[in-house]
Structure 1
Amino acid sequence: MAQIATLGLYGLGTMGSALALNILDNGFGLHVANRTETVTSAFRAEAGALAARLTTHASLADMARAMAAPRAIILMVPAGAPVDDAIEELSAILEPGDAIIDAGNTDFHDTRRRTALVEGRGLTFIGMGVSGGEEGARNGPSIMVGGTRAAFEGIKPVIDSIAAKFDGSPCADHLGPDGAGHFVKTVHNGIEYADMQMLAEAYGLMRYGQGMAPAEIGARFEAWDKGVLKSYLVEITGKVLQAVDGETGKPAVDVILDRAGQKGTGRWTVIEALKMGQSASAIEAAVGARSWSSEKTSRVAGEPILSLPREAVDLPASDYESALLAGRIIAYAQGFRILATASADYDWGLDFARIAEIWRAGCIIRSALLDDISAAFRGDLPEGQLIFAPSFAGMLRDAVPALRRVVAAAVGAGHPVPALSAGLAWVETMGQGRGTTDLIQAQRDFFGMHGFERIGGEAGSHGPWWD
């Protein structure tokens, strides 16, 4: 069994301080430092009685020098140059057997590059995806580890202790080499984008298409969280929509500017999917919708200019519930398709059932479906497609008609539902044995002589337009 490393953590921002308290709370000693000493001092005061296991330092270098080998130093600093700077500083101090752990939201390409760099210097490197926000970091996140397995073994007892638990099992594991952990976290966030967008679209239809008050819609989400849609995002959506702003007495959602931010992981998911020849349509739509939302001034100007009618819709609660179930299955399925392609391309050997299990608690996309997803990957999965697993195929057969009705009603009445409609288009296509790309192949051959594959014949054939 590997020796447990001496732990250090650098970067005491919101996530860093929450993770540090979690480590201390689970009985482990911890060295900490921050770019500014005042933050370190404030953290010691915040730690209270836990400070008995805490050692603070004036700088990253001071902390590294003071720690006993083998050392494992967790970086909780912004992605990009700050990580590279910390690696350079630590590389001059650490020794073989020591590990650097990047626990931020990092582009997996950077993690792969840093792994080669750090390991070329005789050290080990871990890229660790941490999901669950501040609350998760403090009380138990879902943790996706990539990098050298030997380095992981030196911190595994700590990771298992601080991670969220599902039926007593830690929602954390080593998933593969170099950038595997950060890539799984990236795709997790892409699925998160799609799920959030679909929930927002259903809210928009109920609010602006059916005239329901936010609290009434929130109560509906609260009820759905007790059934097939049970999940963290549905739970908090119900709470958000029933909350009241203390200043104005209005529904809290009504005082929030409708301009969504994004930190890059959703875009990274889409970019990597397209690079690998995959199309995660629901995730792409969600990323696009956030980009459109940023054009608030243009949208306000465009409303009277375009004067597009927006009419009422009449849909039962059960249709929304089924449509959201179908949409969530589609988002998960598209995310796992991306993971499968990356696993093959980068020779990671990802265990998709285990990933689903890691996501069952602590992370933002935890939901009741993840047990079924894990079981599907451990069973017979036709064509490797999650939507073809018997359990999910059955759910979709029951739910897709409601998704069609919701999308049709929204489109007919002028309400945008980009993620729900994109997800519907994908699942309809995947259930259609012969589509329309025969015409596209003919067009390509006509204008560019690209050739096509004849049914039952060879590739490189040409059409009669070239006779």
Structure 2
Amino acid sequence: MKIGMIGLGRMGKNMADRLRTGGHQVVGYDIAPDSGRDVDSLQALVQALQAPRVIWVMVPAGKPIESTLDQLGDLMERGDLVVDGGNTRFTQDQEHAQALAAKGIGLVDVGTSNGIWGKEKGYALMVGGSDQDVARIQPILDTLKPEGDYGLVHAGGTGAGHYAKMVHNGIEYGMMQALAEGYAVLEASDLIKEPGEVVESWRKGSVIQSWLLDLLAQALKEDPHLSGIAGKADETGETKWMIADALELGVPTPAITSALYARQSSKIEDPMTMKVVSALRSAFGGHPIVRE
């Protein structure tokens, strides 16, 4: 199958490579000249594909995806299909689908997971869209997913793929935070000789054995006590969106919400919240204030 790929960054390039290895023809485009792109413009990309076209887009949510879809809407033809494999908010998928449908262009949203490991092991794919549109890209999905009867789900209609990925990322936050807090306790205890050895022992036969635990064990082998890593972690929009939707649905998500707050707090050098708390403790209880 011949397909266009927009966005040849860490994820997009690896996906294009996996597709080529699987026997597909990929025409790649990226705004960066040194990306290994095959064409140097969106117009050239569309022209290089025969109608009805399929173009997979791997660009960040927000302005990049908005701009790309607007341009594709003007360049592509009735019967063509766009696949948004980024992390677009599910409500925006529905808006994008309506705008493209007015021009006879279909949209499939695909939540994609497995980061840098996907090229070799395959990607977990969560797909949203009509049965007809999803069937059109089935050969592509079959090549990108891991081997075996798992790693691919048609989650529902437009937006369902990104919704499933949004929830997936929220769960990921909670799992990583639990591992992080547990390891921090091991590090702080005088009873534990080598925290890394404890983590290593959990990898087999333990209820918490997992790929994330394996990655933590490997990180500790490479950098015992993680002394070379700053205690800061970025957070992306998907978990905020999940928590917001969970509030609308009336579903409590305390673990995931706590994990999000922990990441946000990690980026604040001198949090205003703690200044306020310190001032109030001094005012009502006479507790000492640490001055800068």
Q: TM-score, length-normalised on structure 2?
A: 0.88
Higher-Rg structure is 1
Please say if 1:124 is aligned against 2:103.
no
Alpha-carbon distance between aligned partners in 2 of 1:25 and 1:219, rounded to the nearest angstrom: 39
Structure 2 equivalent of residue 225 of structure 1: 203
Decide which of 51, 55, 61 is 1:73's aligned counterpart: 55
Shift of 1:211: 5.8
Residue 128 of structure 2 contacts residue 160 of structure 2 at CA under 8 Å; is this kept in 1?
yes
The one-letter amino acid paired with 1:199 is L
Residue 190 of structure 1 contacts residue 283 of structure 1 at CA under 8 Å; is this kept in 2?
yes
Structure 1 equivalent of residue 29 of structure 2: 33
C-alpha RMSD of the superposition: 2.0
Shift of 1:230: 2.2
Q: Structure 1 257/223 Cα, relative in aligned 2: closer, same or farther at 3 Å?
A: same
Alpha-carbon distance between aligned partners in 2 of 1:111 and 1:255, rounded to the nearest angstrom: 40
The one-letter amino acid paired with 1:174 is H
Residue 29 of structure 2 contacts residue 42 of structure 2 at CA under 8 Å; is this kept in 1?
yes
Instruction: Map residues 204-219 of structure 1 onto 2, 5 A cutoff.
Output: 204-210=184-190, 212=192, 216-219=194-197
Alpha-carbon distance between aligned partners in 1 of 2:87 and 2:265, rounded to the nearest angstrom: 23
Alpha-carbon distance between aligned partners in 2 of 1:158 and 1:73, rounded to the nearest angstrom: 11
The one-letter amino acid paired with 1:71 is R
Alpha-carbon distance between aligned partners in 2 of 1:79 and 1:183, rounded to the nearest angstrom: 14
Please say if 1:281 is aligned against 2:254.
yes
Q: Tell me, what secondary structure is at the counterpart of 2:67? A: helix
Q: List runs of 5+ in structure 2 lacking aligned partners.
A: 280-292
Shift of 1:127: 0.9
Alpha-carbon distance between aligned partners in 1 of 2:256 and 2:236, rounded to the nearest angstrom: 15
Shift of 1:13: 1.0
Please say if 1:265 is aligned against 2:238.
yes
Structure 2 equivalent of residue 179 of structure 1: 159
Structure 1 equivalent of residue 3 of structure 2: 7
Instruction: Map residues 424-443 of structure 1 onto 2, 5 A cutoff.
Output: none
Q: Tell me, what secondary structure is at the counterpart of 1:186? A: helix
Shift of 1:291: 1.6
Q: TM-score, length-normalised on structure 1?
A: 0.56
The one-letter amino acid paired with 1:234 is L
Residue 18 of structure 2 contacts residue 143 of structure 2 at CA under 8 Å; is this kept in 1?
no
Q: Structure 1 138/99 Cα, relative in aligned 2: closer, same or farther at 3 Å?
A: farther
Structure 1 equivalent of residue 67 of structure 2: 85
Alpha-carbon distance between aligned partners in 1 of 2:235 and 2:100, rounded to the nearest angstrom: 30
Alpha-carbon distance between aligned partners in 2 of 1:269 and 1:218, rounded to the nearest angstrom: 33
Please say if 1:21 is aligned against 2:17.
yes
Structure 2 equivalent of residue 60 of structure 1: 42
Shift of 1:208: 1.0
Q: List runs of 5+ in structure 1 lacking aligned partners.
A: 42-55, 245-250, 307-467
Q: Structure 1 138/264 Cα, relative in aligned 2: closer, same or farther at 3 Å?
A: farther
Higher-helix-fraction structure: 1
Q: Tell me, what secondary structure is at the counterpart of 2:28? A: strand
Structure 1 equivalent of residue 219 of structure 2: 240
